[in-house]
Chains A and B, each alone.
Chain A
């Protein structure tokens, strides 16, 4: 059986950043396994700009952002297998994969980084009445058709869900000559970044209908239209508000789900809120030597943060391989009062660094205080003008603070009135 120091599953932004960081930290025997034909992951189809402002201080498109890392990888002797599907990660870190070139591959790894990314929530996960007419697809599928395959999936479009991919596609379809008739959002607020509402919808006069959903699709072979209706505060359609909108395409942008089939089959604990593995401050899962980063861990808003997180995982994996990762007791973290979750879910007391706690809120908050506590003791308190569910937030915790906390202590991040 082939042996390898580090196997990275997934060659998108997360996998590439983790591999490069581990390489920089002295781990040279690295193998990246990628399901698609090329490295780069979903960035290859995200041709709009806005990537890299934090990390590179430049406004890059998705393929350009990916290319920076691909070029770096090519300069190293990191081994890459594309077109390769990972089937299993065993309890003793044997990775089983297959492709047309090697057939079945089995690799015994000292450490594994899970960087499989996420996928879109499909229509099957929503209950919309109607036939399985063609013309109904996720926004990401439409993005692939237009940006990689070079063809337009329709001319008159309704978008359900105001996630960023849906907003980006509203603009893309409009620029290519399609008419986007409405973006319907079930919630009373958008799930996307504010800048995307401005430059993808408002710029083109595309209406954003909040508290509104699609209740029925019409057409048998090809979509002919949809019926939309407003919803009440329990998110139930209000009788009498139905409206028919003719269209040949319905795009869904209703959320992303981390792809954790491998993690689950491998018996790695998942957080029920993030749907990603439970990790410590180096993004090590409950299985020693298995790390997770990027959208498989938590759905990010910006790729820059994926890179940052993946470098932490890469550094952690390198420390683990070199036998330098310390283990003490754990301090756990938790969110309260609208803070939906915290990543990392636990912090090693023996850690050697400051830790950033990442989270998302469950609704829009204005003029509040973000408070970090342990028991009754307040660790930090910061005023926040605005927090929205579409944006990832973080609070820093200093190493001294962690060292001073009791073992089995709980750090709580909460929102209070200002």
Chain B
């Protein structure tokens, strides 16, 4: 791009510039720098009309990049004391950096101007090593020393950046790799993605020094395409490394002064070897890796000339997207029995396999199978050519009917669609789950609560049923048990009947309720127990003496009331006393 900067302070009346000789000047922005630091070389040609591009010399150890292919034009016209002078400058800018320290000399740079060759003076540049270690280092690690063409090489792009410190401020890894410091326009990562911060490490230099670095890495797999050195694309990290920073009014950090650093990795120590030409089988068409081939065909019951879709699936380790199809039309075992189109197949890659389909037609009815299809590849691990073969596919081929063209057309029109047997394929992925609740609801393998309830409920239900059944049988068959079980209820029933009985009968019913209760509990004959018998039985059962005495006194009062009569209020009191005694008797363990 040509930029014209016109500076004219006076109105030009006439231009009578005296012709001056063309000259060239080269200036470095700094004569000293650190490894990786970028210094600017400015080349200016003056007083010339027709200027060519400078020829930048090669200097071992230095990287010199011409930043502008077209010169910047600077034109100046001056009139001083009536004398008019005109000056035109053509300027080019170069970025110069060196990865290692040393004294470098840039030889004279030649530029052709107005048919004349101009030469700059030689320029000295001193690269001195930083005492605290190089601030920016870029390197690429590879996982092996040798590889074949198309053999995957795992490589790691690693960028070491020394953390910038100023008094108590240390820039973070994110700040050191920020847009303010990394020049995104000039930075290139080659075949890698942008490196990410992986940690802080100590790096030791060959002279024994050590420095702390932020390390950023990006890993990738490279498939060499040519023999020789491994091509990584253009890798260059350009950054503004802070010299000093400052805080603004709000306390935010800002760059105050910085120097431009540029670093590229040295060539990784790996040799890419070509695929051998010796022993190369005839079917080899460039596949490198380890592969297996499988084949399927449909339909497998055809007439001569019917189309058969042959599907070849190639799986394995290698660059599947670049794997070519086997040259089927050159396969004599196949072309002997089948008509095979001579066309190159594109194939479809799906992550783990590449699938080719080709339509073939049997040429005679004696064909019994589609022969094994060989796939030849170069295995870089064994450094040998290997062949994988698919299994033969049995097919049935019948003679084709000889029909006239009109018959064929009519037959095609009238023929009902034949029912095709569906063949389920076991290959391929089943789709993702997409339901939000299916995918995001946490799951575990603990036993569901309903199962735990079921586990407990089954035996509990069985034991409960067994217990109830046992009780029912005993109740039915054991008279003593039944009397004891019903004793309290019978006694309360009798007391209830006593409330509504006549005064003469009431006392007898109350007494019957109490003696009947004791009789039921002890399986004595009902209605035959006298007061003395009750006392004796209670003595045998070691019933509480107080209760025994109270019952005896109660029975004495009942006898007196039965023979002597009792007022209504007294009778109600007697019944209530009887109920209280009965409740106490119910608590006795018989």
Q: Do A and B originate from a single complex?
A: no
Chain A residues engaging chain B, CB cutoff 8 angstroms: none
